């Protein structure tokens, strides 16, 4: 071999040895948690290069020696850990076959599996609406919750739509979701619903686009509830709570359609103590959107109010959480108000009080998910921006043009709900008690 070729090969070998990351995969998204059950958890992450993805896990950082992988070589890694115990903390790390462990095994990378369905125990839920501005406002709302999260972590969290402005692209999800919420994403499973801005690049009938690519959601009732057959709408159980996610944006909202039929059957089969529904378009709002205007949002708010609220109230719903309007609006304890604001009758307000224990007492309901016992409707679309409106819908007890997010603490037959501001302010609070 000539001296010229010997020199070239030696230089190439030295260059490879001096660049240990040349073939190593880098973490560019996640990890984040999806599809939690009492015996399993899905861990997802993204790398810059294709590789076979691995998760190691165990009951402590030292014993995290169990390993599971997906097949094939991918950049979008989806690994399900099976054989877990209910209500148990597990530690995990993600990696690849060429760069074994990208994340450390430490308390920051851990999760607690859901309890056995029906278990009565304290549960904390975080809910954010229209957060995806990638702004200082969004970060401040997050930081307020993170202070509470450090004291008592959230068991799960809900995204009420418009998760990534302005059109739900993959890059916008990276900026407004994965870069902003990286800490909680790897500790507490997130459950989303589709907003109108997310739907610019997503399609519910074909389950395509970034929203559906990013999230792993139940179609077969894996997490409780009735199988919906689609990721566009679904239900799940956590402890003694039944959650229902509807697609108010891109799925047929006809009262005789597939989503409505599924909802009736799902609620009829429910035996949990609480029913919480969430979707994007609010039935009662006078914020940056107006639920009285049929031209606003192509009538979606009216269709959800007219066609789905009767089903929800017949199924014993307790709380309905939405976004879309960039404000905070909280209703009275309502039942049977399905028309324009001008049609609200005193008989439809079952309790006109504040629901505050230190003022006029909590909202009281019968247990057993009896139909038409009243529900509280909350529009919480100000987790990324607050843009006002008249805020004078007569169905609402309180309306605020303020930033914030919802924190739900449910223990047994008592639910305490708070609206927390962007700098630690307690902007609203109320309690529902069942007997």
Tell me whether domains 27-112 and 123-434 share a fold: no
Domain boundaries along the sequence of the chain: 27-112, 123-434
| pLDDT tens-place string over residues 197-223 | 999 999 999 999 999 999 999 999 999
| pLDDT tens-place string over residues 246-296 | 999 999 999 999 999 999 999 999 999 999 999 999 999 999 999 999 999
Tokens of 157: 């969290």
CATH number of 123-434: 3.60.21.10
Across all residues in the chain, what is the average pLDDT?
A: 94
- In the three-class reduction of DSSP (H, G, I as helix; E, B as strand; rest coil), residue 44 is classed as strand
pLDDT level of residue 24 (50, 70, 90 thresholds): confident
Multiple choice CATH, 27-112, 3.40.50.300, 3.40.1390.30, 3.40.50.720, 2.60.40.10: 2.60.40.10
216-251 as b/e: b if 16+ CB within 10 A: bbbeebbbbbbebebbbbbbbbbbbbbbbbbbbbbb
Tokens of 264: 């009736």
Distance CA 363, CA 434 (A): 8
* Position with higher pLDDT, 24 vs 133: 133
pLDDT of residue 298: 98
| pLDDT tens-place string over residues 384-426 | 999 989 999 999 999 999 999 999 999 999 999 999 999 999 9
In 3D space, the residue among 317, 159, 152 whose CA is nearest the CA of residue 243 turns out to be 317
Residue 95 pLDDT more than 80?
A: yes
Distance CA 172, CA 134 (A): 8
Distance CA 367, CA 24 (A): 56
Percent of the chain's residues with pLDDT above 70: 94
| pLDDT tens-place string over residues 39-83 | 999 999 999 999 999 999 999 999 999 999 999 999 999 999 999
Instruction: Please state, in angstroms and as integers, the Cα–Cα distance from residue 188 to each residue in 43, 309, 327, 334, 416, following that order.
Output: 11, 29, 26, 32, 20
């Amino acid at each position: 071999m000539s001296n010229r070729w010997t020199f070239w090969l030696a230089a190439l070998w030295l260059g490879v040895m001096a660049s240990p990351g040349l073939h190593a995969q880098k973490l560019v998204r996640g990890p984040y948690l999806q599809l939690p059950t009492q015996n399993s958890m899905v861990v997802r992450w993204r790398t810059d290069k294709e590789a076979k993805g691995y998760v190691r896990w165990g009951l402590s950082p030292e014993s995290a020696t169990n390993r599971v992988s997906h097949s094939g070589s991918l950049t979008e890694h989806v690994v399900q850990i099976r054989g877990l115990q209910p209500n148990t903390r597990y530690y995990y790390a993600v990696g690849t076959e060429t760069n074994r462990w990208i994340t450390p095994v430490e308390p920051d990378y851990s999760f607690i599996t859901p309890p056995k369905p029906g278990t009565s125990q304290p549960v904390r839920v975080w809910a954010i609406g229209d957060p995806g501005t990638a702004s200082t406002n969004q970060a401040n709302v997050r930081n307020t919750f993170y202070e509470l999260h450090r004291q008592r972590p959230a068991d799960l969290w809900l995204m009420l739509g418009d998760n990534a402005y302005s059109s739900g692209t993959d890059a916008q999800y990276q900026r407004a979701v994965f870069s902003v919420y990286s800490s909680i994403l790897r500790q507490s499973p997130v459950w989303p619903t589709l907003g109108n801005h997310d739907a610019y690049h997503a399609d519910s009938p074909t389950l395509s686009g970034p929203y559906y690519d990013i999230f792993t959601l139940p179609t077969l009732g894996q997490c409780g509830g009735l199988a919906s057959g689609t990721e566009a709408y679904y239900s799940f159980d956590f402890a003694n709570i039944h959650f229902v996610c509807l697609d108010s944006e891109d799925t047929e909202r006809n009262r005789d359609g597939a989503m409505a039929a599924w909802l009736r059957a799902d609620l009829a089969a429910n035996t949990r103590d609480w029913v919480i529904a969430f979707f994007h378009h609010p039935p009662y709002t006078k914020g940056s959107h107006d639920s009285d205007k049929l031209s606003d949002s192509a009538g979606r708010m009216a269709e959800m109010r007219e066609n789905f609220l009767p089903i929800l109230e017949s199924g014993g719903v307790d709380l309905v959480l939405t976004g879309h309007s960039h404000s905070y609006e909280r209703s009275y304890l309502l039942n049977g108000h399905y028309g324009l604001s001008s049609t609200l009758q005193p008989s439809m307000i079952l309790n006109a009080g504040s629901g505050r224990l230190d003022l006029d007492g909590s909202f009281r309901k019968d247990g057993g998910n009896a139909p038409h016992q009243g529900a509280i409707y909350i529009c919480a679309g100000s987790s990324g921006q607050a843009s006002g409106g008249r805020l004078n819908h007569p169905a609402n007890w309180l309306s605020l043009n303020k930033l914030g997010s919802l924190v739900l603490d449910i223990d047994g037959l008592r639910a305490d709900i708070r609206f927390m501001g962007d700098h630690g302010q307690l902007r609203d609070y109320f309690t529902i008690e069942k007997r």
